[in-house]
Chain A
Amino acid sequence: SAVISQKPSRDICQRGTSLTIQCQVDSQVTMMFWYRQQPGQSLTLIATANQGSEATYESGFVIDKFPISRPNLTFSTLTVSNMSPEDSSIYLCSAQGGLVYNEQFFGPGTRLTVL
C-alpha cells in the first residue's frame, strides 16, 4: 500500500490569507486527488491533480480558489486562497494507481481553521 503524508497536519489562519498544503506519496502513483471534509460532513472531491497539466475541478470548485500543482508522480500541493471561515475543513489528499489498481489511499488530512 502507499504511504501518504501531508503537511501541515493542522493550522489556524486569518481570514483573507492563503495556505498551501503539501502531499507526499512514498511511491509513484498514477493519480492524486484532493478532498474536503467539512465539519460533520462526508468527503467531497475538489479536484484531480494531473501531473504536468492543469488540475480537473469538480462542480463548485474553481482554480482561482483552490490552485493545485503536481510537478511529479509523488507530490502535489493544494492552496486554499483568500480564506473565509467557511473554508474551515479537513483537506485530504489521496493517491491511486500504484501497485494495486482501483484502490485509493488517503493521507491523514490537514485540519484547517479560519478565524
Chain B
Amino acid sequence: GDSVTQMEGPVTLSEEAFLTINCTYTATGYPSLFWYVQYPGEGLQLLLKATKADDKGSNKGFEATYRKETTSFHLEKGSVQVSDSAVYFCALTARGGNKLTFGTGTQLKVEL
C-alpha cells in the first residue's frame, strides 16, 4: 500500500538557518503530494502541494519539489523564524483518490 516516510525529529535550528525536512513516498502511479503544518495547540493546515512530477509547491517561504525519479518531496526554507516552530506532516493521495496517507510528522523548533 501507499506510505510516506519522513525524517525523524525533533529538529532544532537557530533563527535564519536553512531548513530541510526529508520526505519520501511509496505509491503506485502519480500521487498528489502535500505538506501540512500543525502549530502548537492548533489544527492541521495545508502548507503547500504538488500534483504532478517536477511541480514545485510554495507558500510562506517554504518550497517542495515533486521528484518522481527519487520519489521525494523534501520541504525547504531558506531562513526559518521562531514562528515556524510546529510539526510538519508530509502526505499523499493516490491519483484520483481522496484518502490522505500521512508521514509520522517532524517537529521543528526554532530558537533565537
Contact = CB atoms under 8 A, between A and B. Distances in A.
Interface bin, chain B = 10 to 19
A42 B43 contact: no
B49 A103 contact: yes
Interface stretch (A12-20, A65-73, A81-89, A104-112): A104-112
Nearest to B32: A102
Contact of A106 (B43, B98, B104, B105): B43
B82 interface: no
A42 B45 contact: no
B44 A43 contact: yes
Given A42-B103, A105-B46, A96 B98 contact: yes
Contacts of A103: 46, 49
B89 A43 contact: yes
Contact of B104 (A41, A94, A104, A107): A41
Nearest to A1: B46
Interface string B74-105: 00000000000000010001000011101111
B104 A31 contact: no
A42 B104 contact: yes
B42 A45 contact: no
B89 A108 contact: no
Interface of B: 32, 36, 42-46, 49, 51, 89, 93, 98-100, 102-105
30 contacts: A31-B98, A33-B99, A41-B104, A42-B89, A42-B102, A43-B100, A43-B102, A44-B102, A45-B99, A45-B100, A48-B98, A92-B43, A92-B44, A94-B44, A94-B100, A102-B51, A102-B93, A102-B98, A103-B49, A104-B46, A104-B98, A104-B100, A106-B36, A106-B43, A106-B44, A106-B45, A107-B43, A108-B42, A108-B43, A109-B44
Interface of A: 31, 33, 41-45, 48, 92, 94, 96-97, 102-109
